[in-house]
Structure 1
Amino acid sequence: MTETSPSARLRWWVVLTLLGVGLVLGLAGSYAWWRVWRKPNVVASPLGPAYLYIRTGSSFATVLDTLRRQELLHEPATFAWLARRRGYPAQIRPGRYRLDFGLGNDALLDKLLRGEQDTVDFQLNAFKYKPQLVRQIARQLEADSTTLRQLLQDNKWLQRQYQLDTTTVLTLFLPGPYRLVWNTSAQQFMDSAAATHRQFWTAQRRQQADSLGLSPTQVHVLASIVQRETAMPQDKPIIAGVYLNRLRRHMRLQADPTLLWAIGNFGVKRVLNKDKLVDSPYNTYKHAGLPPGPITSTNRQSLDAVLRPAAHQYLFFCARPDRSGYSDFAETFAEHKKNARRYQHTLDSLKIMR
């Protein structure tokens, strides 16, 4: 049996050593690649997915600072290294990005580079004044509040863009659900509201407005009064019918909610005679016809109540004394006075003076 020579044994030792070193280096390299490219790097949150907000004009340093400050990544350094390698600093796209737990750097960069941001679903609530609209939008979107305020006050621009003015611009906004990307600008938000407005005003609804002798803007104005008068769906078409009957007979609307708009206090529970003397085009006790603009943003239910009013001969209505939210209706002023006295007695018994 031939014995292995010392030189052969050395050669085998060298080969095995090199193979071992290569294997170790290969495993180390594979781990390093996996750690940078594929290892889950997004931090788990007990509240669900986290969100990265990148404002318009943000630098790469700002993005990294946000990731570090909000502790969204386990290893921000590996993300930064790969981001530079993939050219992300020159391709930053603003938006609201959902960071699901388990996402690795490569997959996260794919999302950021493609601009795959999540949309923002929010409910636009009814509002009475423009600052209330601006605050709602500023809480939901990146849209600059100063720019939005300026657009809402720019008569020439509003006329050119939407055929509205600073008084009627509230008719553009329909309360309800909206879905927009977070980095929507002020003008883009208004354009989106205008598109929703156009979708609502179908050919059928325009025909209904025409049959009443009203423009869509006038329907919004009247619907805003109906909306402030009652929250009861059953009463809305009846109240709309009352006001339309008064308009046809050239009677003043004498709508209390327009007085509250004029005096700037919607918290008043009891309208006084002195309120009816306020000098304002919104004082429908003094001025005939519709006020110049809406007194609140109007929802679809109120608009459709005006477009499909109840047919009747009522000219008056008053809140019921049981404070149920419903109204008592009357064809004559004498009947109305009786209803009004019952309601006033209820306010007196509750010591509601204002």
Structure 2
Amino acid sequence: MYFKKIFLAIALIGLVVAAYFAYFVYSAMFVPNTNFNNSEAYVFIESGATYEEVRADLEPLLKDIETFDALANRKKYTTNIKAGKFRIAKDMNNNDIINSIRSNNIPIKVAFNNQHSIPHLAGRIATQIEADSTSLVKAMLDETFMTQNGFSEQTVLGMYLPNSYEVFWNTTADGFRDRMLKEYNRYWNDTRLEKARKIGLTPEKVMALASIVHEESKQRTEQPRIAGVYINRLNNKWPLQADPTLKFAAYQLPKYKNTVIKRVLNVHKEIDSPYNTYKNLGLPPGLIAMPDISAIDAVLNYETHKYFYFAADANKPGFHKFAKTLSQHNQNAREYQRYLTNKGIRR
């Protein structure tokens, strides 16, 4: 009788322990454990992050961090951290949360527009992905990469086509650069390569001309006509005489650092630079800025006409007047110079 009581007591204790364990397992795995009111929250886990760092990010989002710890240990998540952007939905349980942050890295949209240099581009991208601007600049200007893919420091900016792209937040600097090379090669399909060949330009030279066209006008309807002017000049071995190239050349000089040139003057035309298209025939050695895809397509599909000149239209800001003769162009240019003078813009 005595042994039966001991056995019964042990059995009862076992049931209590089993019940407690079952309750603990249930609480750890299946009870909702979020502590926010929105429908979802996101966590960004850095490459090489420790469990303690992940835990610190998760703790404000969870009701009970200790049950999460217990399950994370049991599922070996604490020693198998994954980097990326992860979604936690309201009322998720610990099991679902761990599964999400272990295997559901969410792509993000990275977007950039017309950056004027590789450092500017790197700074823009660094605000959107994990890689910092220093590592991005290093990857983008890697000499081996540029040489192997036919780029130089002057032309490599053209590899980055302004658009939005879906990537993972934890994409490395090299990974981002390599992805942009794929996009560049995809853009330069057989059709576009054939158009460039017929114009007599390589893709790199198309990009250089497109950068000038884009700096001249942001008006998509006008860009093919401007491109046609420059093609006419190139085909007739005339200097391009593109004012944006003078500005670019000037900005490379200490004298013009941190300044904005609003009016191109004769003194700018005397700058000794391969980018001075008043002094040098042909295209400059590289891009002066990152062109929109519209400007690239404008070069490839330039308007055929007999214009050799254009000047900004004082009566229609953002647009230009085109001319076939120098006398007509000089008249258009004088009108615009008077407009600048009346506005008090002298340099």
CA–CA separation in structure 2 for the residues paired with 1:173 and 1:286: 29
The 5 A counterparts of 1:87-166 are: 87-114=76-103, 116-160=104-148, 162-166=149-153
CA–CA separation in structure 2 for the residues paired with 1:186 and 1:112: 23
Paired position in structure 1 for 2:198? 211
Paired position in structure 2 for 1:190? 177
CA–CA separation in structure 2 for the residues paired with 1:155 and 1:285: 31
CA positional deviation for 1:179: 0.5
CA–CA separation in structure 2 for the residues paired with 1:309 and 1:227: 13
The 5 A counterparts of 1:1-354 are: 29-46=21-38, 49-68=40-59, 71-114=60-103, 116-160=104-148, 162-264=149-251, 267-354=260-347
Paired position in structure 2 for 1:6? none
Q: Which amino acid aligns with 1:33?
A: V
Q: Is the 8 A contact 2:119 2:133 kept in 1?
A: no
- Provide Cα deviations, 1:68-127, integer angstroms capped at 9, x if missing partner: 3xx12222221111101111122111111112211111011112332x111011222110
Q: Is the 8 A contact 1:151 1:158 kept in 2?
A: no
CA–CA separation in structure 2 for the residues paired with 1:49 and 1:132: 33
User: What is the Cα-based RMSD across aligned positions, in Å?
Assistant: 2.4
Provide the secondary structure at the position in 2 that maps to 1:37: helix
Unaligned runs of at least 5 residues, structure 2: none
Normalised by the length of structure 1, the TM-score is 0.89
- Provide Cα deviations, 1:202-226, integer angstroms capped at 9, x if missing partner: 1111100000000011101000100
Unaligned runs of at least 5 residues, structure 1: 1-10
CA–CA separation in structure 2 for the residues paired with 1:180 and 1:347: 45
Provide the secondary structure at the position in 2 that maps to 1:275: helix
Change (3 A) 1:287 1:45: farther
Q: Is the 8 A contact 1:152 1:166 kept in 2?
A: no
Q: Which amino acid aligns with 2:133?
A: S
Normalised by the length of structure 2, the TM-score is 0.90
Q: Which amino acid aligns with 2:290?
A: S
Provide the secondary structure at the position in 2 that maps to 1:123: strand
Q: After alignment, is 17-26 or 295-304 more displaced?
A: 17-26
Q: Which amino acid aligns with 1:121?
A: K
CA positional deviation for 1:155: 2.5
Change (3 A) 1:45 1:315: farther
- Provide Cα deviations, 1:247-304, integer angstroms capped at 9, x if missing partner: 0111111111111111126832211111111222111111111111111112211111
Q: After alignment, is 36-45 or 132-141 more displaced?
A: 36-45
Provide the secondary structure at the position in 2 that maps to 1:140: coil
CA–CA separation in structure 2 for the residues paired with 1:66 and 1:222: 48
